[in-house]
Amino acid sequence: MIVKIKKSKKNIGVDPDEIFLDSQNLENFDQQQFEGRIEKAISKKTIIFLGVFFFLIIATFSGRLSYLQIKKGEAYMQRSENNTLEKHIIFSDRGIIYDKNGKELVWNKKEAILAEEGEEERRVPTRAYLSPGFSHILGYVSYPAKDKSGKFWQTDFIGKDGLEKQYDELLRGENGAKIIETDARGNTHSENIINNPKAGKEIYTSIDSGIQQKLFSIIKDHSEQHSFTGGAGVIMDVQNGEILTSVSFPEFSSEILSKGEDKPTINAYFKDKRKVFLDRTKSGLYTPGSIVKPFFAIGALVEGIIDPYKKILSTGTLVIPNQYFPDKPTIFKDWKAHGWVDMRDAIAVSSDIYFYVISGGFENQKGIGINNLEKYAKVFGIGDPTGIDMPDEKGGVIPSIEWKAKRFPGDPWRLGDTYNTSIGQYGFQVTVLEMTRAVSAIANYGTLPAPHFILNDTEKEKNARKIDIDIEKEIYDVAREGMRQVVTNGTATILNVPYVEIAGKTGTAQVGISKNRVNSWVMGFFPYENPKYAFTIMMESGPATGTANASGVMRQLVDWMQNNTPEYFQTI
């Protein structure tokens, strides 16, 4: 019996995955390319699912397209014909200005500026200013402006004065824009922003807003109570030139000028004889009086024409014989008889006769002459702009032979002109700021700082420079010791306070045709042993017979600082 064995069609072989080695156990397989792995086909269910998914998407978009093009096509066509697209400005925020402690001096607030009737209401950020006491530092802006049709012809804020003008590009942001679709009735149908506005950069100044406000208040009260036209004051770091405070009175309102709406007040500013818009710290030129004496004392010592210990007699008058009219000698007066004074004493009591003699000479004492007076004034930066980061700074005027020849043709330079120049009179004119820089060079032994308002501005600090000639420390010390005696037993004993040692120099300059008005000055530095700050206070055109002066202003300020900001008096 033959039995037939039927072969099964079923594969009884070994599946490939049973014979392939694990790819992880073999070398040189590129697993990223799936070498050594089994590939499996995509299932039919997956393919069907994907097909249905994409079909539904296409059907949805086709249906929406049919709705818009066929059913609503005519309505949208009419809308597109009647509607307009306009590009509108989105105004950016201008940069904020802070004081050194992070207090806002200038910031932005939102206010609506209405367009003409029937047009869209626009919102423009407006500037708010800390006040009073800051207008000359901060300045003001010109806002974006519209024409009669309501279109903006000026689309940016423009700084017009002060830091707003000086750092306009930095503070100015970048406006954004949006497209607005409106119909014939002015109804808005859509808005699309095409680019967002970018705010301007913020600025941190070196100003201490508390000291700034207090000094402004003191100068304002002093002016109004004692009939001064105005006043100014600066305190500056003698090492890096940072301005701690810069006050000019009277001032304007930055917000009123920026908005330009209060016409009566703005007109009153222009009519004010006190020159409200004048920044008296950097743009006002004033006769300095005796505050120039320490610089000429240094010049006399450098030129070697006198020993600092040599005494000169001040009887109250200096009589110069007149060779043409012997019975009519020329008499130069001191403000009082001081007796015998050496250089330190002469600085302390502000002896005019001492400085007449060492400048122009008298009898057997040689003077340094007018050319050297001009030379040493310029050595300390007097007469030149300081380069402060602020617009419209002015340089001073130092009388000289050339200056007189241009101003008074045919009138030769005389000995009396030299005498008067030596005490800061005649045609001498300076700014409060340049005198602050000049006295800083005495405080720090020969460096003229670069005054500036931006905190930690290292680039500006690089503009500081050593004075042009070598002056020994001992010569500086004579001037410094004389200035300390001004406070301890001289013309500014009101500044002899127990909490900080101050060195100073006062000045009283006659102004006006009748000489019945004076500019009152005080300048100096503190702490005396290791100076950190230089200061200058000037009270403008007060009565010559009054007892109020710039030293009194400084005393009120240092008393306030002792109670509120004593850190400025600490020695390093």
Q: What angle do CA 127, 132, 134 make, to 5 degrees?
A: 65
Exposure class string for 65-91: b at 16+ Cβ within 10 A, else e: eeeeeeeeeeeeeeeeeebeeeeebeb
- Report the range of poorest mean pLDDT among 1-5, 75-79, 149-153, 266-270: 1-5
- Report the range of poorest mean pLDDT among 118-127, 443-452, 490-499, 559-568: 118-127
Q: Are residues 331 and 402 in the same domain?
A: yes
Q: Are residues 377 and 430 in the same domain?
A: yes
Is residue 306 in some structural domain?
yes
Is residue 6 in some structural domain?
no
Q: Are residues 560 and 490 in the same domain?
A: yes
- For residue 356, what pLDDT is reported? 96
Q: Are residues 131 and 92 in the same domain?
A: yes
Terminal-residue alpha carbon distance, the chain: 125
Q: Are residues 260 and 365 in the same domain?
A: yes
- For residue 17, what pLDDT is reported? 54
Return the CATH number at 160. Answer: 3.90.1310.10
Q: Which of 375, 365, 356, 363 is nearest to 415 (CA)?
A: 356
Q: How much is the average pLDDT of 124-152?
A: 87
Residue 513: pLDDT over 90: no
Is residue 20 in some structural domain?
no
Q: How much is the average pLDDT of 175-201?
A: 70
Domain count across the chain: 2
- Report the range of poorest mean pLDDT among 138-152, 156-170, 412-426: 138-152
Is residue 217 in some structural domain?
yes
Q: Are residues 388 and 351 in the same domain?
A: yes
pLDDT band with cut points at 50, 70 and 90 for residue 177: confident
Determine contact, residues 481/467, Cβ cutoff 8 Å.
no
Cβ burial of 109 (10 Å; 0-12, 13-18, 19+) is: exposed
- For residue 114, what pLDDT is reported? 44
Is residue 12 in some structural domain?
no
Determine contact, residues 208/105, Cβ cutoff 8 Å.
no
Residue 476 is part of which domain span? 209-269+278-569
Higher pLDDT, 249 or 118: 249
Q: What is the pLDDT of residues 76-106, one digit of tens each?
A: 555 555 556 566 778 888 999 999 999 999 9
Q: Position 497: which residue type?
A: V
Q: Are residues 411 and 475 in the same domain?
A: yes
Is residue 28 in some structural domain?
no
- For residue 5, what pLDDT is reported? 46
Residue 128: pLDDT over 90: yes
Is residue 69 in some structural domain?
no
CA 445 to chain centre: 26
Higher pLDDT, 259 or 4: 259
pLDDT band with cut points at 50, 70 and 90 for residue 32: low
Q: Which of 370, 378, 444, 430 is nearest to 402 (CA)?
A: 370
- For residue 153, what pLDDT is reported? 75
CA 136 to chain centre: 10
CA 27 to chain centre: 72
pTM score: 0.82
Q: Are residues 138 and 236 in the same domain?
A: no
Q: How much is the average pLDDT of 519-532?
A: 96
Residue 450: pLDDT over 80: yes
pLDDT band with cut points at 50, 70 and 90 for residue 71: low
Q: Are residues 256 and 108 in the same domain?
A: no
Return the CATH number at 474. Answer: 3.40.710.10
Q: Are residues 225 and 286 in the same domain?
A: yes
Q: Are residues 188 and 243 in the same domain?
A: no
- For residue 82, what pLDDT is reported? 52
- For residue 13, what pLDDT is reported? 56
Domain boundary among 179, 204, 229: 204
- Report the range of poorest mean pLDDT among 116-130, 197-211, 260-274, 524-538: 116-130
- For residue 117, what pLDDT is reported? 39
Domain boundary among 162, 181, 204: 204
d(CA 505, CA 347): 8
Q: DSSP per residue over 424-486, as a string?
A: T-TT-BB-HHHHHHHHHHHHTTSEE---BSBTT-HHHHTT-EE-SS---HHHHHHHHHHHHHH
Q: Which of 205, 213, 273, 216 is nearest to 248 (CA)?
A: 216
Domain boundary among 182, 204, 226: 204
Token code pair at residue 68: 């818009």
Mean of all residue pLDDT scores within the chain = 87
Q: Are residues 389 and 433 in the same domain?
A: yes
- Those residues whose C-beta lies under 8 Å from the C-beta of residue 128, and which sit 6 or more positions away, are 106, 107, 108, 109, 255
- For residue 75, what pLDDT is reported? 56
Q: How much is the average pLDDT of 351-372?
A: 95
Q: How much is the average pLDDT of 37-64?
A: 78
Is residue 19 in some structural domain?
no
Q: How much is the average pLDDT of 471-494?
A: 97
d(CA 338, CA 343): 12
Residue 200: pLDDT over 60: yes
Cβ burial of 30 (10 Å; 0-12, 13-18, 19+) is: exposed
Q: Which of 300, 349, 334, 338 is nearest to 483 (CA)?
A: 349
pLDDT band with cut points at 50, 70 and 90 for residue 115: very low
- For residue 122, what pLDDT is reported? 57
pLDDT band with cut points at 50, 70 and 90 for residue 532: very high
